[in-house]
Chain A
């Protein structure tokens, strides 16, 4: 089982679109896939027409896992399940803080799903909190959408600094360009230069696309309704890159 996170300190960069479409792309490859929506806004589940999760009992990793399991919703696409979000997730930090080994609890929770899924994708809230640190320690790869702008460049540097300060492995960080517009000169320049500073930068560039915006109206992953558009192909390419990097095996 591989655990992959969609994470950025900055909001509005396409994290949820990445999580939703990447989950769909993984399920297309035959991998049993679980999308875990950790963002209290609950947008990832919304895209699958799934309502909010019920409140969790958060005594320890076992009870969290048991309650998460109760909240699993089968999507309309066989082999792709979702654990929707709940506003109560905003208290995750406080609860984790009260536990021993509070930075490794999420990994223990997700280990309970090892026999059921080949891939778990996490859509994470945009901040650095104890929950984020748990995500960093639980993930096999962290995918970081970066809009080719100066601000995004700055937050990416902040993230790498944090990893270095916390002695976390920067190798698991995989930034990639999101919502890129070829006609924008600044975008083109940043796309050209920025990857040179970060060895884990992925090659695939997700273009800005009206089709992606329409996910809110269609309430399904882009890949489910616009199979061959440029953005859909880019998400699939991204999926292949991450499969290769994480050496993810399909379910036999």
Chain B
């Protein structure tokens, strides 16, 4: 086998401060072959999808560059795209490779600025005593806008020895290594982001609360509420700026979860106070219902249009235009609502109620081990779902299926809140089947609601024959899908309530008092 020419010969060093050019000049002939300074903006999603996907997206003027994230710094450029608009979503990028990678990372999330600063790129040629280039040195620094004209805190230096001059170049690497940054958990770009008050962190709607079976119920509830509430509030800036629809979606989930938790765990706090908070949370969630509905329609725009033959599609354009216009108004109203003093007071009240230092009066279940309390609840919920399932067939009323969906959701939330207490293998199996059951019930519910809403829209447009045709086509398909979902519900319910799952639920929750997971 042929050896081939050596590849990937460059070394990368992160230096504190600027590149020590003078030091190099004392030992070698140094010449600048390129020097560029450009303003740049880094972009990422709220979830830091680019960062954790191992990429960096930055723009300089109207050029967007997609790079690999390497050692916490700009790695090799993968592709770039010139655009005259301010792209936010994956579909705003048009070139193949850029769109392909961003589609995988962004999903339906939008991009927002995470850092603004100046990129300084310098390329040097280092020569030996004969004047022969022995290596090239690419040095980049980024300084943040906020830091003004201060010295950049880090330089990323890539030393690329020319073939046959690796040993000589090694001395340069040794020389620069003296200026290398200290070993740090945070990468250089991460530290720069920190200057702007941003820090890449994993986002999840399912955090670990640090509970065990014996954690007192009130302490456990406080931990869960504080954690979920902080996630809800972290979504507010994105929601107010209307970056994408997922801020509202996640905010609503968090609010619903807290509300649900407070209903599921009774007797942990004195009754009256919790009931007030539940009412407040209910109002908060309700005030976003319409906006979420509109978001769902707009997100499904492409899917709706594809359901219809091309000649019927234009009829729906005006419907989506109306939805988009209404959405704008709803966003405006919600922003006003969230920025109101009343909203702030409500949030502060909830935070204060569940704060670690808040003293509450005694209650029946405050100090009992949370495992004991919730396992009983979970098993009861499971049995209830099974009882309801037995009565379900192809003719069951929609309302009954809606109730079943709500019961499933309660059980899923409980299992999510307290999954740290449940056997690792069993929780996967239980959640998997519960998720598929909920997906189908959700699909059934969505098609029912959509069908109703679209027919409602039609009632206001009865004179327009084109709209009538378009809506007619759409409603037929939605009805067909709804019937299909109904058939699948019965099938999945059989597995969920079957002997296999029943044993798993019983093993984990009925006898848990005797054999708790520590």
Docked complex: B1-29 residues within 8 A CB-CB of A: 2-5
Contact residues of B with A, CB < 8 Å? 2-5, 125, 130-133, 162-165
Residues of A within 8 A of B125 (CB): 76
B163 touches A74 (CB 8 A): yes
Given contacts A48-B132, A49-B130, A49-B132, contact A69 B3 (CB under 8 A): yes
A sample of 22 cross-chain residue pairs with beta-carbon separation below 8 angstroms, ordered by A number, consists of A48-B132, A49-B130, A49-B131, A49-B132, A50-B132, A50-B164, A69-B3, A71-B164, A72-B5, A72-B164, A73-B164, A73-B165, A74-B162, A74-B165, A76-B133, A76-B162, A81-B163, A112-B2, A115-B4, A116-B4, A116-B5, A219-B131
Instruction: Give the dominant DSSP class at A's interface.
Output: loop
Q: How far is the CA of A136 from the CA of B163 in the complex (A)?
A: 29
Q: How far is the CA of A75 from the CA of B164 in the complex (A)?
A: 9
Instruction: Give the dominant DSSP class at B's interface.
Output: loop
Given contacts A112-B2, A115-B4, A116-B5, contact A51 B130 (CB under 8 A): yes
Residues of B within 8 A of A116 (CB): 4-5
Q: Which residue of B has the minimal Cβ distance to A34?
A: B5
Q: Which residue of A has the minimal Cβ distance to B130?
A: A49
Not counting A51-B130, A73-B162, A76-B125, a sample of 9 additional A-B residue pairs whose C-beta atoms are within 8 angstroms of each other reads: A49-B131, A66-B3, A72-B5, A72-B163, A74-B164, A75-B162, A76-B133, A115-B4, A219-B130
Say how far A53's CB is from chain B's closest CB, in angstroms: 10
Q: How far is the CA of A69 from the CA of B132 in the complex (A)?
A: 20
Given contacts A49-B131, A76-B132, contact A115 B2 (CB under 8 A): yes
Q: How far is the CA of A243 from the CA of B448 in the complex (A)?
A: 73
Q: How far is the CA of A93 from the CA of B175 in the complex (A)?
A: 45
Residues of B within 8 A of A81 (CB): 163
Docked complex: A55-91 residues within 8 A CB-CB of B: 66, 69, 71-76, 81
Most chain-B Cβ atoms within 10 A of its Cβ — which of A66, A73, A219?
Answer: A73
Residues of A within 8 A of B3 (CB): 66, 69
Residues of A within 8 A of B5 (CB): 69, 72, 116
As a 0/1 sequence over residues 218 to 241 of chain A, the CB contacts with chain B under 8 angstroms (1 = contact) are 010000000000000000000000
Say how far B391's CB is from chain A's closest CB, in angstroms: 70
Say how far B487's CB is from chain A's closest CB, in angstroms: 56
As a 0/1 sequence over residues 90 to 112 of chain A, the CB contacts with chain B under 8 angstroms (1 = contact) are 00000000000000000000001
Say how far A213's CB is from chain B's closest CB, in angstroms: 19
Q: How far is the CA of A116 from the CA of B162 in the complex (A)?
A: 16
Say how far B7's CB is from chain A's closest CB, in angstroms: 11
Residues of B within 8 A of A74 (CB): 162-165
Most chain-A Cβ atoms within 10 A of its Cβ — which of B130, B132, B164?
Answer: B164
Q: Which residue of B has the minimal Cβ distance to A81?
A: B163
Say how far A67's CB is from chain B's closest CB, in angstroms: 11
Say how far B30's CB is from chain A's closest CB, in angstroms: 14
Q: How far is the CA of A31 from the CA of B112 in the complex (A)?
A: 44
Residues of B within 8 A of A49 (CB): 130-132
Q: Which residue of B has the minimal Cβ distance to A76?
A: B133
Say how far B5's CB is from chain A's closest CB, in angstroms: 5
Q: Which residue of A has the minimal Cβ distance to B160?
A: A74
Q: How far is the CA of A69 from the CA of B133 in the complex (A)?
A: 19
Residues of A within 8 A of B131 (CB): 49, 219
Q: How far is the CA of A18 from the CA of B2 in the complex (A)?
A: 30
Q: How far is the CA of A73 from the CA of B163 in the complex (A)?
A: 5
Say how far B129's CB is from chain A's closest CB, in angstroms: 10
Q: Which residue of B has the minimal Cβ distance to A32?
A: B5
Say how far A38's CB is from chain B's closest CB, in angstroms: 18
Q: Which residue of B has the minimal Cβ distance to A73?
A: B164
Residues of B within 8 A of A219 (CB): 130-131
Q: Which residue of B has the minimal Cβ distance to A53?
A: B164
Q: How far is the CA of A219 from the CA of B164 in the complex (A)?
A: 19
6 tightest CB-CB pairs across the interface, nearest first? Answer: A73-B164, A74-B162, A49-B132, A74-B163, A76-B133, A49-B130
Q: How far is the CA of A71 from the CA of B5 in the complex (A)?
A: 11
Q: Which residue of A has the minimal Cβ distance to B128?
A: A49
Residues of B within 8 A of A73 (CB): 162-165
Say how far B164's CB is from chain A's closest CB, in angstroms: 4
Q: How far is the CA of A51 from the CA of B128 in the complex (A)?
A: 11
Q: How far is the CA of A49 from the CA of B165 in the complex (A)?
A: 12
Q: How far is the CA of A73 from the CA of B5 in the complex (A)?
A: 11
Say how far A118's CB is from chain B's closest CB, in angstroms: 13
Residues of B within 8 A of A115 (CB): 2, 4
Q: Which residue of B has the minimal Cβ distance to A70?
A: B164
Docked complex: A138-166 residues within 8 A CB-CB of B: none
Q: How far is the CA of A74 from the CA of B2 in the complex (A)?
A: 19
Residues of B within 8 A of A76 (CB): 125, 132-133, 162
Residues of A within 8 A of B132 (CB): 48-50, 76
Residues of A within 8 A of B163 (CB): 72-74, 81
Say how far B299's CB is from chain A's closest CB, in angstroms: 44
Q: How far is the CA of A112 from the CA of B130 in the complex (A)?
A: 31
Say how far A117's CB is from chain B's closest CB, in angstroms: 9
Q: How far is the CA of A51 from the CA of B125 in the complex (A)?
A: 19
Docked complex: A116-130 residues within 8 A CB-CB of B: 116
Q: How far is the CA of A51 from the CA of B5 in the complex (A)?
A: 20
Residues of A within 8 A of B2 (CB): 112, 115
Say how far A57's CB is from chain B's closest CB, in angstroms: 15
Residues of A within 8 A of B4 (CB): 115-116
Q: How far is the CA of A115 from the CA of B132 in the complex (A)?
A: 27
Q: How far is the CA of A48 from the CA of B163 in the complex (A)?
A: 14
Residues of B within 8 A of A71 (CB): 164
Say how far A137's CB is from chain B's closest CB, in angstroms: 21
Most chain-B Cβ atoms within 10 A of its Cβ — which of A51, A76, A115, A219?
Answer: A76
Residues of A within 8 A of B165 (CB): 73-74
Say how far A31's CB is from chain B's closest CB, in angstroms: 15
Say how far B161's CB is from chain A's closest CB, in angstroms: 8
Q: How far is the CA of A48 from the CA of B125 in the complex (A)?
A: 15
Q: How far is the CA of A66 from the CA of B163 in the complex (A)?
A: 15
Residues of B within 8 A of A66 (CB): 3
